[in-house]
Structure 1
Amino acid sequence: SKEPLVPVLNKRNTATILNSPGWVLLGLLDPERSASSVAYRAIVETAHKYKKTLVAGERTLLEAKPLRFATLDGTKWTRYITEALGVDPVNLPAIVAVNSDKEVLYPYASDERRVDFTEEALWEYILDMENGRLTEKSTISSTQRTFRQISHRVSSVFAVIAAHPFVTMILFSAAAYGVFRIFCGASPEDRLDGLSKAD
């Protein structure tokens, strides 16, 4: 079956939509709030307008890819919207553009406020994205970033060990010998040399 123009994220399609390279304009909705249906309609209308202008060749592609559109039920994705997107569930509905492949998002419109739920506001948001007028924010926390950097360094060390086992063995042997000298004083060979000189 053909994917709708504005799919709703679920277990089946999440990886395909969010992890594919490029930007997704994402509506974070709360089905219990009437503002969510207003936001949803604005997203769908904007998606249709975007598709028409894309076909007509009037769009500036973002990193050589067209913008995609999707929504999710924010009440079921609380951890994702809170930790990755920085949106408190009490503030739903909300609209953000996210690039999961690059781990960045545009959380605000050009005035540094949340995007309004109107076609005009969404269209202006898209134009600002295309013209580089918005401020990117990382979807990963500083703690996660530090952990990744440490993990990357450790994995790099183990990659070198795996690629050059003989060199690694020599280096470890030299290090072990140095530790032995520090803690045990002169090496057995040095002590034998000393005894022969005394004779």
Structure 2
Amino acid sequence: MGLYSEHIFPRLMESGLKGELHRRYRRRVLSRAQGHVLEVGFGTGLNVECYPMSVRRVTGIDPAAVLERRVRARIARAPFRVDRVIHDAADRLPFPDGHFDTVTTTWTLCSIERLRDALLELRRALKPSGELLFLEHGRNDKGWVSRLQDTLNPIQNVVACGCNINRKIDAEIEGGGFRIVDLDRFTMPGVPRALGSVYLGVATPRGGGGLERPRGTGP
């Protein structure tokens, strides 16, 4: 890791993601989390304060450890056990099949290089009755916005250390062995559509026992 990716970008990213609006969306999507949670892209631990009391343990995976002092402070305040594993989500996860009750991703799927491999691994590690809770930005449905995203994506990929703004998140999730049972699509207020087109939802492993709910719209 270089100076920019290890020290500068993590601070920029945290500054952009720790505001009240982002916290509100985090709490909304994580409200369904329960039991032993696998958090993909633990980052600086911004999700820790947003989990409900139904969570008893969080195992966070991330390809690198950054801003360690902040991370340790957030973990110390957690009312549940938090473990961290430095690991690329696209590689074979060091967990048995059906190990977790819930898998969570927040603003993470945009930056995993081999996303399909990662999703298949998450599917394997999740219980058949478990849920994948996701809050991601991605491809907008409007043609001119998606074309703009395609144009800007190579720049975004470099500036934001591998982030992609033009991934169709719902299609990626369903192609990775999940069935989306609840999905909201909206643009975050005050954020350009190219960057703030949000996918917030719930998915279950194909063949799992999750209860299907109608898809919604709106923030």
TM-score range, shorter chain: under 0.3
1 or 2 for the larger relative contact order (CA 8 Å, sep ≥6)?
1
Q: TM-score, normalised by structure 1?
A: 0.24
Q: TM-score, normalised by structure 2?
A: 0.22
The structure that is helix-richer by fraction is 1
